[in-house]
Structure formats: C-alpha cells, structure tokens
Amino acid sequence: MHRTRNPASRIARSLSRLFGGEAGAGLLLILSAALAMLAANSPLSGSYHALLHAPLPGSPIAKLETAHLWINDAVMAVFFFVVGLEIKRELLIGELSTPAQRRLPVLAALGGMAAPAIIYLAVAGRDPGLSQGWAIPAATDIAFAVGVLALLSKRAPPALRLFLLTVAIVDDLGAVGIIALFYTAQVKLVWLGAGFGVLALMLLLARLRISHALPYILLAIVTWYCVLHSGVHATVAGVLAAFMIPLRLDRHGDSPLLRLEHALVPWSAYLVVPLFGFANAGVELANSIAFGALPLGIALGLLLGKPIGILGAILLAAKLRLAEPPVANRQQLAGMAMLCGIGFTMSLFIGALAFPGQQALIDEAKIGVLAGSILSAFCGYALLRLAPQRD
C-alpha cells in the first residue's frame, strides 16, 4: 500500500500512535463527553456555557458569533469532509464498489435508519412539537462503535468490523441526505448557486488532472462559506466538496483524495469529534429534566430500533437470497447491530438541528442520545465479549 511521506501525514500517524488507534479515538470521545457533563454539573457550569455561547469579540464571520457555532458549523465541516472522502473511496475502489458488495450494507443501513425513526415516532410523534426529531436516533457514530470493537480485539471477527464500517458509511451518507432535505432553513438560491459553481470549478480541476491538494482545499473552504450563507446546513458542503476530490491513482499509487484522507482522518478522530463532544454533551442534570417522550423515544430508537432494523434487514436479505450475511454467528451479528445503536456524534448533531432555539428540548434530546448510546455500547460489548468464537 502506498505510504505518504508529507509532513501532514507524518503528524497524522504520530497522532494515531499517541492516542492508541481506533480504541483510543473512541475512548477520547467518551472522555470529552464525560468532561462536558462534569463541567455542566459543577461550579464551573457558568464558565462552561459562557465559553461556548458567549458572543466572540470580533468574529470574522457574522453568522458564527459564538464558539459553539464555530465548532458545529465550521470545525464539524472537517468531519463531514472526511466522511465524504471515505464514502467516495469506498464507492469507487472499496467495499461498496460493486452492486453485489453494496446490496447488504445498503439494506442494513436503510433498516437501521427506518426502524429507529418508527420507534421514535411511536413514542414521541404524537406530540407535533416533537415529531421533527424522528431522525435523531437514525445515525451511527463510527468512531465510538469501531472503538468499542477495537477493545474486543480478536473477539470480533474482521468480517464483522468491515461490515460495521460499510454499514456506518452508508448510514452517514443517509444522515447527510436527511440533514440536507429535512433540516434546511429557507434556501438563498444565489449563495447556493455560488456554492455549486465552486464545486463545478473543483470538478474542472479534477478533469484537468490537477494533483496538488491545495487548490481543492481552498475551493472547499469557499464552497463551505457559500453554503453557510445559503440556508442549507454548512457541513453538507464538506461532503459535497469531498466528492469533487479526484481519486485517480498515479504511477505511485497516490491521489489527492488518498493524501487528504490519510492526513485528515486522525485530526477528525482525535480533535474535531472530541471537541464536538465536549461542546455538545454538557447538559445540567440538576435541572431535573424528566425522562419523557422525547428522550425515551430517542433512547429506545437507538437501543432497540438500530439492532431490530439492521438484523431484520440482514436476515430478510439472506432469506430472500439477495445477499449473504457476513461470516459471523448470530450472537456476533446481534452485538454488531447493537453497536450501531451508538448514535452519539451524529445524533447530537441532528438533535441540535431538529429543535433550533429550543434549548430545553435540545437538552432532553441529549439525555436520550447519551442514554441510548451508552446502553447500546454496553450491550453490544457484552454480546460480542460472551459470544462463542464458532457456531
């Protein structure tokens, strides 16, 4: 496999070694969320909220007037950019590159998005003010779920890890589509058109076989700025820009997409996602938020809906001979499906979009996300840890 030698890649590999790889990324995310909860429920609560929500003096972008907005609308664009790079690579040369390879992960991801939404609507959908939260339990946190798998070492078969990754990648693509279609404010066509114009310029550079990454990075930032002002959520620009990065391999087996992915994945896993967790997981439990329909619908959607939807899709596809399930026993498949109920990062993100300006509902959504994700992590870990190695 081609090994990049540029400074960014060397720093990225150093970060990966420092934090212990995939398991370390998951643990770092848990730690950042725990610190946020401690800060929000301690004498530091006022400082924590002021740090995130107080207006910044002289913010260079008027729409991003607080640190919280910078993290959610700008820093998280890097996370979505990396997601887009991974999706494109998998679709072109990876585990989703043929119709046969795509069939089961797509079916499993669709089932894993539909079942949680149905459970959520059954529990909370009768209240019209809560119905827009249906997508909160529909997403999987790749870093958290793969981190738990990494802790299991040889107890989780490689085929299971690969399948979880492919399902989560399809799941992420679905979540981005949901954000773009269902959580978009009034669209400003001039700004949106400008964004698509910049994307067209990126595509032109790719057609001209421009291999330097810097022009693509600069144009991706311009795309993000245009989409930020368009009414479509700015992080969607990250995925769209990533799709424009060329994957065409040169004689060294290198490409701009691979270089950017290798350089950015550790930064996303060890900085962007933990920073998002710290900025969004803090909720004041002392406010005695009742575990009502909203958090209950989210928690049950993650804990029950995800495994029911994914396992149901796998078993139905096998029965109809549409696809062969991954090489694993039933308990291991159940454990993998349960880990997909860890919605953390994307669920918190969608929760903030679902209830804009309604902090009480956002806090209730956080409680449901945290409860459902933690229970899913423990149950998935236990199922895989206790599963027989062979049928």
What pLDDT digit, counting tens, does each position of 78-105 carry?
A: 998 998 998 899 889 888 888 888 899 9
Predicted pLDDT of residue 18: 60
| pLDDT number for residue 382 | 92
Residue 3 confidence class, pLDDT cut points 50, 70, 90 = very low
Bridge partner list, 66: 55
CA–CA dist 189, 342 (Å, integer): 36
Q: Cβ(224)–Cβ(76) under 8 Å?
A: no
- Position 4 pLDDT exceeds 50: no
State how far the alpha carbon of 175 is from the alpha carbons of 19, 41, 358, in Å.
28, 31, 22
CA distances from 265 to 227, 245, 280, 325 (A): 23, 15, 21, 29
Average the pLDDT over each of 42-51, 131-140, 285-294, 329-338 and give the range with the smallest value.
285-294
What's the pLDDT at 341? Answer: 92
| 56 and 66 Cβ atoms separated by less than 8 Å | yes
Domains annotated for the chain, with CATH where assigned, are 22-49+63-386 (1.20.1530.10)
pTM listed for this prediction: 0.83
Question: Is the per-residue pLDDT at 150 higher than 80?
Answer: no
- Comparing CA positions, the residue from 193, 214, 232 lying closest to residue 73 is 232
Give mean pLDDT, residues 98-122.
Answer: 92
